[in-house]
Amino acid sequence: MSRYNYRAAAMFLWAATALGQFPPTLSQYEPLSVSRESTYFENRIELEIRRLLRTLPYFGVFDHLEYRVDGSIVTLYGQVVHPDLRSDAQTLVSTIEGVGQVNNEIRFLTVSPSECQLRKAIFVAIYANPRFRPYTLVSGGTIHIVVEGDLVTLEGEVSSGTDRLSVANVVKTVQGVSQVANNLTVSK
């Protein structure tokens, strides 16, 4: 899409929102991932949720958090390894001005020895690879690894379609991985 088309789409969305034809928040269309960098068309509450959730002390590469804003109601989704992360996320989001209610649908991931070993092996396969070194510079990592049994889900944002496919291919080679769901998005 050319620069002109992006500008035309942005003007259309701005006008539609101003006329009350669209909901005022982007996440009403689908949940937004905390591990993604893009903030295009997000409102103040969505940006504050993303910023605050990223600061949680236990939020890391093995967790995935998403949120949806519907007026003053925020719904939290995702999977976490550390038990305190679920309640801490809810408490933190409830302190944001304009948030009236927080629905917490964050699930706990099991931490069996085999799953923990698989998490570590995948972490090393991705983050020790020189090709993916730029993704280590973001606190908490930009590639999140969600392990449930032998199923691996990749969440987050990468800079190219090639990296998106390459990360998934690297993970598929890790012993113990039976299936990879590649939910990585390409930053724009």
Which CATH architecture is the domain 23-108 placed in?
A: 2-Layer Sandwich (3.30)
Residue ranges of the chain that CATH labels 3.30.300.130? 113-186
Low-confidence ranges of the chain (pLDDT < 50): 1-6, 8-23
> What pLDDT shows up at residue 121?
97
Residue among 68, 145, 147, 83 at smallest CA distance from 115: 147
**Is residue 38 within 8 Å of 157, Cβ to Cβ?**
yes
> What pLDDT shows up at residue 4?
42
Separation of alpha carbons 177 and 122, rounded Å: 9
For the chain, what is the HEC assignment? CCHHHHHHHHHHHHHHHHCCCCCCCHHHCCCEECCCCCCCCCCHHHHHHHHHHHCCCCCCCCCEEEEEEECCEEEEEEEECCHHHHHHHHHHHHCCCCCCEEEECCEECCCCHHHHHHHHHHHHHHHCCHHHHHHHCCCCCCEEEEEECCEEEEEEEECCHHHHHHHHHHHHCCCCCCEEEECCEECC
* Neighbouring residues of 18: CB distance < 8 A, sequence distance ≥ 6: none
Which CATH architecture is the domain 113-186 placed in?
A: 2-Layer Sandwich (3.30)
Residue ranges of the chain that CATH labels 3.30.70? 23-108
Amino acid at 38: S
pTM, to two decimals:
0.79
> What pLDDT shows up at residue 162?
95
Separation of alpha carbons 144 and 153, rounded Å: 8
- The DSSP bridge partners found for residue 47 are none
At 12-64, the pLDDT tens digits run 444 444 444 444 555 555 567 776 666 556 688 888 998 999 889 889 899 99
> What pLDDT shows up at residue 33?
74
